[in-house]
Each structure stands twice: as C-alpha cells, then as structure tokens.
Amino acid sequence: MNFRTELRLVLTLLLALWQTECSVSSQACADEASPEFSKTTYTYKTVEQLEIRADVYRHEDAVRRPVVVWLHGGALIMGSRSGVPMQLRTLAQEQGFVLVSLDYRLAPETQLPEIIEDLKDGLEWVRKTGPKLFNADSSRFVVAGASAGGYLALMSGIVADPAPTAIVSYWGFGDVDGDWTTQPAAAYRKGKLIDRDVAWAGVGSQALTSANKDNGRGRATFFLYLKQTGRWVDAVSGFDPKVEREKLTPFCPIRNISATYPPTLMLHGTADNDVPVGQSIAMAGEMKRLGVSHELITIEGGGHRLWGGDRKLIDQAFARSMEYIREHLETPSAAN
C-alpha cells in the first residue's frame, strides 16, 4: 500500500470516527423525524454574524417535557449538531422527552475558552428559553455526549448553573493536558508525517460550527497532524501546557469536581487509542473520593466508540445508558 492510499484510508477513518459521531452503536444517524415527533432548528446565539444553532426534536404538543441535551464529538475540530445517535432520538420519541442537539464553534478558529462559553450559553438557552419556546421542563435535563462531546458533557457539570440532573459521557475525557494530548501518539505516526504547513492549510481563520464534505478532509488532516505531534491542546486552547497549566485548569473537569457534581455514567473501551480509558477511570476515582453518584462501564478490548469489543456487552452498555437517562428524567427535580 502506498502512502497516498494509506493516508486516504486514514482520513476516511478519521472522518468516520470524529466528524459525525452519528451513533453510539452501529445504527444510522437520526435525520428526519416522524410527523408527530419533529425537528425544529433555532439560533441560540450569534457571534459576529455567525449563527450558532440547536436542533430541537419533540412531540408536536403543548406538554412540558424533560430534556436530553446532545453534544457531538470531533476533537472540538470536526462534527456538527446533525450527528445525533439514533438510539437517543428513539428514546426521546418513545419516552416523550425533548432532545436538543447543540452546535458550538470549532477549534482552532475558535479557542477552548470560547467553546466553553458556547456550551454555557447553549445550556442557559435551554434552561431559560426552552420552557417558553418548546415547552421544556428545564428542571429535568440530562447532558450527554461522545468523545469531545463527552468531555463537554463532563464540563457541563462544572459550568452550568444549575447543574444538569445527570451526565452521560461516552468515551469522554477529564483533562486536556495529560500525556495523551501533549505527547506524539505512536498509533498515528506509522505512515509519513504530515507537514505543518499542509496541516494548517486545512483550517482557516473564520469561525465555523460544522465540518462538511468541503472542509472535512482538510480538518481531518489537521487533526492527524496534531495527534502525530502532540500539539492538540496548544492548537485547541491557545495555551502552552508546559508553562501555562494553571490556565488550563478551569477546562479540566477532573480538577474541578466537587461533592455536588451531578450523577454521571461513563462508557469507555479499554483499548481506546484516541482517548485512553484512564481518563474515565480517573474521573470515576475522583467521584468516588468525593461521594458523587456515578457508574463506569468499560468494554474489554473496545477501541474508540467501543469498536472491537464484544458486541453483546456493547449493546448492554448502550442499553444501560438509555435506561440511565430515562431514570433521571422520569423523577421530577426539586430545582426549578
């Protein structure tokens, strides 16, 4: 296999892994909803004429319903709000929940502090505007996400006020400045290394909220370069982790958990070469130390998105995550 063919396959894989995060199993992405369970797109925030949007899926009635917020993956560089897991849409439709999929500005054109601001503003929009705009019961809302979206879901327990009713993190991470982001990843250095200028040519200067068929390949090449060089956190945050660790602390959930952190479920594969399983194990350890209710499900031999693990165990893990969301949304919260 020549390098060009190898690179094309790698980029295709990267796009499949990071760009959409369409499904937390093998099912297809949710596209159009049924007539009685429809999708409406809103703009929850505008920054310098860039509209940052949310897709809201719900039954066409006036019943006030609890909310599931979905945050897409993509290394904070790729992906879009369209990548909604089919299981989650089905759960919302069957159980009568509102499902909100949020976009956020992508790195490196937008840096991590501003991405977290989008997260805060999106959740505040759901909480404050949701009851009037789409009959959301904002006293009951679960935040879920995969990979970088799992990280943002974990961050929601730090930055949202009030905090979510519960959090579900699929192969997410609790720090942004560990060896896994600051050291070159051997798994990505087996072919020809990406040139810096080629990598940066794949991204631009104008803020955007989604990767697509036009810019996806360039952004995947950029991501590959960051993994090869251990420069992801620098590019995404604008901070040098070697000398500015304190500036990254506010963006590391594991360094900000308190005893009041929301109940959390985490799923992770033990053979994940993109986000090490140690990220979820460490989060679980800190939650245990602080007495925070949590569950950690690991899939032996599972890679990123649990690929390669036992199919039966994976299905059971995803089924538990849907049950976990249902459990926390069916019980009314004392908060309003």
- Note whether residue 130 is domain-resident: yes
Confidence at residue 85, expressed as pLDDT on a 0 to 100 scale: 94
Report H helices in the chain: 3-14, 86-95, 112-128, 130-134, 148-159, 179-182, 196-201, 216-229, 232-237, 245-248, 278-290, 311-330
Q: What is the pLDDT of residues 83-117, one digit of tens each?
A: 999 999 999 999 999 999 999 999 999 999 999 99
| Domain hosting residue 213, numbered range | 3-330
- Note whether residue 336 is domain-resident: no
Q: Does residue 12 carry a pLDDT above 50?
A: no
Confidence at residue 332, expressed as pLDDT on a 0 to 100 scale: 57
Here the CATH number for the domain that contains residue 25 is 3.40.50.1820
Looking at the 3D structure of the chain, how many domains does it have?
1
- Note whether residue 51 is domain-resident: yes
pTM of the model: 0.91
Confidence at residue 33, expressed as pLDDT on a 0 to 100 scale: 55
Q: Please, which pLDDT band fits residue 192 given cuts at 50, 70 and 90?
A: confident
pLDDT average, residue stretch 231-246: 96
Confidence at residue 6, expressed as pLDDT on a 0 to 100 scale: 43
- Note whether residue 85 is domain-resident: yes
Work out the percent of the chain whose per-residue pLDDT is above 70.
88
- Note whether residue 292 is domain-resident: yes
pLDDT average, residue stretch 142-170: 98
- Note whether residue 335 is domain-resident: no
Higher pLDDT, 289 or 5: 289
Q: What is the pLDDT of residues 291-329, one digit of tens each?
A: 999 999 999 999 999 999 999 999 999 999 999 999 999
Burial (CB < 10 A; 0-12, 13-18, 19+), residue 171, is buried
